[in-house]
């Protein structure tokens, strides 16, 4: 600990003073020379007391897992002077996360503990160990009895002090298995609502804004606005998230309503069991009389199941007659599902049918940033853009890539930079540069719109040419990693402000126009 010549007795409130000779609230000060004699005892006891008050304050404002991950076993006081406090954390990761997300909370907690507006200096000293002090807030005391791994959310990647550190081979195996597990599609729900999947945690973009708005409308007035809602789209695009978000919202605003959330496979298994046990009457009664909101995921799994479709048909009709809410998800529109009876297609088509498309680049960026925050990992902008540029198909794969980087950061105790991300995600930067640059992007856009490259690069102002030019600029900036100046030079020596205008225009259009956003995705997949 650094001892300064600043008299702590002139700074500290009387509650921190351990001897009667120190400053009291009436302003009676001891001399600096006298203080120096007892400086060590003042530092050791009072710095610790201030630290515990700061932690106690932080614990009230920060969630339990994040408090444990970033503060409880990391934060210690190195020095205090009249205008600032120097706090030490044990990892670069913790420092970055605190600076990025918790600087204001920390500043407020320091003020509550000291009653001083102090500038906060964060430093990293990996050799420092937090002091363990007894007789404090029980939750803090408990967290001080052990070291918490940097990324506490990766629970099964944490190792206690008595455990052997895994080998590199074991770590890589675990990382890959977590990636595979994350990218697998869940097949059943077991009738449990996932409380983490809410509207607040759902990233809205041009690819899903209609589905999101429809889901909110249904959750606000179940059975009144749209008696049946049908959401369709490819795997891993957020259909399941919306299903659970609706359930969570209904639980919050209409707690008396009875919700049944299941999958088509579970519905079928339950029906078969009822026939087997001769309890089909009870099966029907359960759905007819004990369900206010019925949610069935992957409704297309009922194809070619005649008995299941028959029971579903009667359940659908009866619940709709009783003005209950029905919500379904599928990978296709009702009319495109083969092996489904026409009467079922007709019922499903009478629902409000909305789709979810693949997320565009901007939405993928937003998803990754939110997931990184939820998982307690700091990722630089260039790493986030790297993942968003290379993982285009669905959200589940985005999360899988993120999980892999979290495991790497946690186990090897390293920060994730661009080189590490490329290595762990097996992204070859040379291949990327060869295939995606201003020229190849413009050629792709040219082919998509059937407009010559020369026209796109010219000063022509026809609407279709201008749009193609702006799209080429947009992808050259975000996907090709070219600067505004480089893009301007390629497109007829245009000024960089003209390029910025074109890029921003495409960003605005994709937010407002769903069909336009779909075109952008179609073009992007051809790079």
Q: Say whether both 118 and 32 belong to one domain.
A: yes
Most confident of 6-20, 50-64, 317-331: 317-331
Mean pLDDT of 139-159: 36
Mean pLDDT score of the chain, rounded to an integer? 77
Contact between residue 463 and residue 478 where contact means Cβ atoms under 8 Å apart: no
In a domain, 225, yes or no: yes
Q: Say whether both 123 and 220 belong to one domain.
A: no
5 has a pLDDT exceeding 60? no
In a domain, 366, yes or no: no
In a domain, 199, yes or no: no
Q: Say whether both 249 and 349 belong to one domain.
A: yes
In a domain, 237, yes or no: yes
Q: Is the dihedral of CA 34, 38, 39, 43 positive or negative?
A: negative
Q: Say whether both 232 and 114 belong to one domain.
A: no
In a domain, 70, yes or no: yes
178 has a pLDDT exceeding 60? no
Which residue in 301, 315, 230, 220 sits closest to 268, CA to CA?
Answer: 301
Alpha carbon distance 268, 312 (integer Å): 9
Buried b (16+ CB within 10 A) or exposed e, 31-67: eeeebeebbeebbeebbbbbbbbbbbbbbeebeeebb
Q: Say whether both 105 and 214 belong to one domain.
A: no
Sheet harboring 119-124: ordered strands across? 76-80, 84-89, 119-124
Give the model's pLDDT for residue 512.
78
CATH code of the domain containing 320? 3.40.50.300
CATH code of the domain containing 121? 3.30.300.180
Give the model's pLDDT for residue 170.
53
Q: Say whether both 218 and 138 belong to one domain.
A: no
38 has a pLDDT exceeding 80? no
CATH code of the domain containing 474? 1.10.1750.10
Q: Say whether both 218 and 352 belong to one domain.
A: yes
Q: Say whether both 215 and 334 belong to one domain.
A: yes
Give the pLDDT band of residue 431 (cuts 50, 70, 90).
low
Give the model's pLDDT for residue 25.
32
Is residue 230 within a helix (H) or strand (E), and if so which, with residue range?
strand 228-233
27 has a pLDDT exceeding 50? no
Give the model's pLDDT for residue 471.
94
Give the pLDDT band of residue 24 (cuts 50, 70, 90).
very low
Give the model's pLDDT for residue 187.
35
Alpha carbon distance 224, 257 (integer Å): 13
Chosen domain end from 356, 380, 405: 356
Q: Say whether both 438 and 305 belong to one domain.
A: no
Q: Say whether both 323 and 447 belong to one domain.
A: no
Give the model's pLDDT for residue 177.
57
Q: Say whether both 120 and 242 belong to one domain.
A: no
Q: Say whether both 221 and 299 belong to one domain.
A: yes
149 has a pLDDT exceeding 70? no
Mean pLDDT of 494-510: 89
Residues contacting residue 256 through CB under 8 Å, at least 6 positions apart = none
Alpha carbon distance 56, 53 (integer Å): 5
Give the model's pLDDT for residue 249.
93
| Domains in the chain, number | 3
157 has a pLDDT exceeding 50? no
Give the pLDDT band of residue 42 (cuts 50, 70, 90).
very low
In a domain, 451, yes or no: yes
Chosen domain end from 341, 356, 371: 356
268-297 pLDDT, tens digit per residue, is: 998 999 889 999 889 988 888 889 999 999
Give the model's pLDDT for residue 16.
55
Mean pLDDT of 401-414: 75
Give the model's pLDDT for residue 469.
95
Range of the domain at 458: 434-524
Mean pLDDT of 340-359: 91
514 has a pLDDT exceeding 50? yes
Chosen domain end from 312, 341, 356: 356
In a domain, 364, yes or no: no
In a domain, 166, yes or no: no
């Amino acid at each position: 600990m650094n001892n300064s010549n600043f008299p702590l007795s002139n700074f500290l409130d009387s509650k921190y003073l351990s001897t009667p000779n120190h400053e009291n609230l009436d302003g009676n000060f001891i001399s600096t020379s006298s203080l120096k004699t007892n400086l060590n005892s003042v530092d050791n006891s009072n710095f610790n007391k201030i630290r515990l008050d700061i932690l106690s304050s932080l614990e009230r404002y920060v969630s339990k897992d994040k408090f444990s991950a970033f503060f409880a076993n990391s934060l210690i006081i190195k020095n205090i002077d009249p205008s600032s406090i120097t706090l030490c954390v044990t990892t670069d990761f913790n420092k970055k996360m605190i600076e990025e997300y918790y600087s204001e909370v920390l500043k407020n907690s320091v003020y509550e503990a000291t009653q001083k507006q102090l500038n906060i200096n964060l430093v990293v000293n990996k050799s420092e160990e937090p002091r363990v002090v007894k007789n404090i807030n029980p939750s803090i005391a408990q967290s001080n009895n052990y070291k918490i791994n940097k990324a506490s959310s990766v629970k099964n990647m944490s190792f206690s002090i008595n455990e052997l550190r895994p080998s590199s081979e074991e770590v890589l195996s675990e990382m890959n298995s977590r990636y595979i597990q994350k990218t697998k599609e869940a097949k059943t729900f077991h009738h449990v609502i996932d409380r983490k999947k809410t509207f607040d945690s759902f990233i809205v973009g041009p690819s899903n804004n209609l589905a999101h708005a429809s889901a909110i409308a249904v959750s606000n007035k179940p059975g009144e606005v749209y008696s049946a809602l049908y959401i369709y789209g490819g795997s891993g695009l957020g259909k399941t998230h919306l299903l659970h978000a609706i359930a969570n919202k209904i639980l919050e605003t209409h707690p008396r309503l009875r919700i049944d959330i299941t999958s088509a496979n579970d519905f079928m298994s339950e029906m078969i069991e009822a026939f087997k046990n001769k309890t089909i009457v009870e099966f029907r009664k359960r759905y007819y009389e004990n369900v206010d909101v019925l949610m069935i995921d992957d409704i297309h799994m009922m194809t070619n199941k005649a008995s299941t479709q028959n029971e579903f048909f009667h359940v659908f009709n009866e619940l709709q007659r009783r003005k209950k809410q029905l919500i379904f998800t599928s990978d296709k529109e009702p009319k495109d599902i083969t092996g489904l009876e026409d009467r079922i297609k007709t019922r499903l088509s009478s629902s409000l049918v909305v789709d979810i498309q693949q997320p565009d680049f901007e939405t993928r960026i937003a998803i990754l940033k939110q997931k990184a925050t939820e998982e307690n990992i700091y990722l630089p902008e260039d790493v986030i853009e790297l993942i968003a540029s290379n993982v285009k198909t669905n959200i589940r794969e985005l999360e899988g890539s993120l999980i892999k980087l979290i495991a790497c950061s946690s186990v090897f105790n390293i920060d994730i930079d661009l080189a590490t991300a490329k290595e762990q995600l097996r992204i070859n930067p040379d291949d990327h540069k060869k295939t995606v640059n201003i020229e190849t992007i413009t050629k792709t856009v040219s082919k998509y719109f059937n407009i010559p490259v020369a026209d796109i690069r010219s000063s022509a102002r026809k609407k279709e040419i201008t749009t193609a030019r702006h799209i080429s600029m947009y992808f050259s900036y975000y996907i090709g990693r070219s600067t505004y100046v480089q893009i301007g030079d390629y497109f007829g020596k245009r000024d960089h402000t003209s390029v910025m205008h074109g890029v921003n225009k495409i960003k605005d259009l994709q937010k407002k126009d769903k069909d336009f956003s779909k075109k952008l995705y179609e073009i992007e997949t051809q790079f």
